[in-house]
Structure 1
Amino acid sequence: MTLKRKQSESEEKPSETNGTLSINDEDLSIKKKRKITLMNGVGLIIGTIIGSGIFVSPTGVFRSTGSVGASILIWCLSGVFSTLGALCYAELGTSITRSGGDYAYIYTAFGPLAGFLRLWVAILIIRPTTQTIVALTFAQYAVKPFFPDCEPPEDACRLLAAVCLCLLTAINCLSSRWSMRIQDIFTIAKLLALVGVILIGLYYLIWLEKVEHFENAWDGEYNPASIALAFYSGLFAFGGWNYLNFVTGELKDPYTNLPRAIWIAMPMVTIVYVLANIAYFIVLSKGEILSSPAVAVSFGNITIPEVSWLIPIFVALSCFGGVNGVIFTSGHLFRTGAQDGHLPDIFSFLHVQKKTPIPSLIFSCVTSLAMLLVSDVFILINYFSQILWFSVAACIAGMLWLRYKEPDMPRPIKVNIFIPVTFLMCCAFLIIFPIPTYPWNTIIGVIIVLSGIPVYYLFIKNATSGSYAIYSETITRFLQKMISVTYSADDEEEPRDK
């Protein structure tokens, strides 16, 4: 398959009369500008990582270990683990500069089928459920101050989550710059909220000398399987450390700014997370943490009861910024998949004036809205914890394979071999040890991934001609004219075999 390319001067320029949108007299395509600065990149990493996780996940980590000391250690190691992964992704992102993140790297290293399976899982579950879960969390905390003595109505939360998804999708469609400004603003709000939690914890520790919760800090019941599950909760809160790689194509000077953004953002998030958890343990007892659906809310009810309603608002703002980051990167992921022919061509197009991937963003929003109809959407993501880490491990394995297969590939950043090897060993621990305890999670995840194989051979590899292609082209031309989109001049021009 050959991707859409820029027409040469000898080719006839299409116009409205033949069914394809004409942009100007010189060129059918548009040029996508690099708009993401270093600080935007830092804001995107921090803003995407800090969502609901740090306000909710401490309960999950502590429930799996039962130990204050082990919980804090797991938070530290989760930060180190995520930083090692981010450094490996810095090498991948500067040697494979396409947007698309995991999908682009797996495609390059292992071929189109492997890349499609990663995209298949992302489209089917990972992206829509992630966006929907964070949007629902935003809605639940946004309406919580209006229902202080009871749970908010489920329908009201779903409606507000839908409004959140549609609003942020519209903003991302209108302007990438507006999206980055929202990300920067809400990142600052998140950090201020967590700094407030840390300062309150220090007050209780230094002035009130509250240290009794750290007695026998290492007592607990934990084993390799429970530790792996504790890491799932901790790493969920760090989720998003690789999201800047999904938009490398829009990052200014990616060779310099990608690693800089990682080195600035990851230590900052790790330090803030560890200190916030210490603050939680200073104030809350073991029983209060285990019985709390949201540790930050319980923390606020004890320390600042007069204005405890501020905590749900800050959690809501944090989730709002998190949804924005996921939507922004999802649009670019689906666009990259369409450039490779793994999604309809329309998803690779940009708006003529806004230069934003509107078709991909709308598709991402629609799939997330559909997930709002599923009552157990929070359970779905659990089936994919192992698959998620398997795909990350596949990216790092692909990086090592490319070092062997293509040693002359330009690598502006090349990490020490110790880092990816250590990271792969940690991924193996996360993937393997929970299997005996939760075998069905693994089985269901593998079944859904493998279901993409017949889809690939039926609709992707062998669907280059015939009525399917004719209908696809007709729909593409219709949508081009309806929403004023066309392909970008910086789309790849070299052929890719499916």
Structure 2
Amino acid sequence: MKQNLEKRYGFSVAFSMVVGIVIGIGIFFKANQILTASKMNPKIAIAAWILGGIISILSGLTAAEVGAAIPETGGMIAWIKRIYGKRIAFLVGWAQLIIYFPALIGLISYYFAVFTGSFLNVDPSNTKFLGITAFLAISFLYAINIFTKSVGGKIQTFATAAKIIPLLLITVFGFLSTNNSEGIFYMTETTKVVTSESPLILLGLSLVPVMFAFDGWIYVGTIAGDLKNVKKDLPKAIILGLGFIAIFYVL
């Protein structure tokens, strides 16, 4: 069936979608888990961030090549259908539709409600507030993407900037801080954890939450049919977006 979608998005929307999808609850909620998994060793933790970035960029190069060769709407599902056939594509799509995306959307909307409640000084045990806020957030975004043409892209760009600015400030103030005059790799006696485990094992354990923090970039392929120049913009958005995120996370 021939696709006749309106080409409404450019590189900036695709790039902000990669960055906006990846930079989310992972960097805010997984950093502590990564330090815990590394036994509070900052060298291992930062090495895990670097390794996770390299793995993601190599994966992005593969996806960018496939996306440029198969510039169809549907992203990963369309690519799998062309490469492996309808049956495998159906199984992957079914798993995403029934299991993966509902769980992911529920998780993200829940944390959105938690952050909103924290900002408004609402009791975190107020489940009614959390439920209503999460439902309204999901409903609003669904309505925007269903009934408007380009507002969704603008919201994505704005939301990406809203997440990058505080992380950038945290990074800058972290490097400017004089609280740790011994350097960023120095561990105080109160944070050192004595362990006999191999650094490679600790690196592997730390890599698990790191990869969660890098997850989601491949879904920029779902707007391939909406991109004005998909063969040029999609690969650039994936590769440059992942490179930017990797450097940002490490810093």
Equivalences for residues 230-241 of structure 1 within 5 A: 230-241=206-217
* Counterpart for residue 164 of structure 1: 137
2:76 aligned with 1:119, yes or no? Answer: no
Work out which of the residue numbers 209, 223, 229 in structure 1 matches 2:181.
209
Quick one: percent identity of the two aligned structures?
Answer: 24
Query: What corresponds to 1:55 in structure 2?
Result: 28
Partners of 1:256 and 1:211 lie apart in 2 by: 42
Q: Tell me the number of residue pairs that the alignment of Structure 1 and Structure 2 aligns.
A: 246
Q: Alignment partner of 1:252: what SS?
A: coil
Q: Contact 1:140–1:152 at 8 Å: present in 2 too?
A: no
User: Matches of 1:171 and 1:139 in 2, distance apart?
Assistant: 19
Amino acid at match of 2:245: V
Partner Cα distance (1:190, 1:76) in 2: 21
The answer for the alignment partner of 2:242 in structure 1 is: 266
3-state secondary structure, aligned to 2:217: coil
Residue correspondence of structure 1 range 250-399 to structure 2 within 5 A: 250-275=226-251
Match of residue 184, structure 1, among 157, 167, 184: 157
Alpha carbons 1:47, 1:183 under 8 Å: kept: yes
Q: Describe the superposition over 1:332-372 as per-residue Cα deviations: whole angstroms up to 9, x where unpaired.
A: xxxxxxxxxxxxxxxxxxxxxxxxxxxxxxxxxxxxxxxxx
What's the counterpart of residue 69 of structure 2?
Answer: 95
Match of 2:128 among 155, 162, 168: 155
Aligned-residue offset at 1:250: 1.1
Distance 1:224 1:120, change over 3 A: farther
Give the alignment's Cα RMSD to 1 decimal: 2.4
Separation of aligned partners in 2, 1:204 and 1:247? 41
Instruction: Name the residue aligned to 1:135.
Output: 109
Give deviations 1:438-487, integer Å, cap 9, x for gaps: xxxxxxxxxxxxxxxxxxxxxxxxxxxxxxxxxxxxxxxxxxxxxxxxxx
User: 1-side partners of 2:172 and 2:157: how far apart?
Assistant: 23
1:37 aligns with 2:19: no
Cα distance, 1:64 vs. partner? 2.0
**Residues 131 and 212 (structure 1 numbering): CA distance in 2 closer, same or farther, change over 3 Å?**
closer
TM-score with structure 1 setting the length: 0.46
Matched, 1:248 2:224: yes
Larger relative contact order (C-alpha < 8 A, sep ≥ 6)?
A: 2
How far does the alpha carbon of each residue in 1:84-108 deviate from its partner, in whole angstroms, 9 at most, with x for none? 1111001110111112222222222
Unmatched 5+ stretches in structure 1: 6-29, 276-498
Bigger radius of gyration among the two:
1
- Return the letter of the residue paired with 1:129: A
| C-alpha distance in 1 between matches for 2:184 and 2:21 | 34
Matching residue's letter, 1:214? Y
Q: Contact 1:64 / 1:222 at 8 angstroms: preserved in 2?
A: no
Q: Secondary structure at the match of 1:176?
A: coil
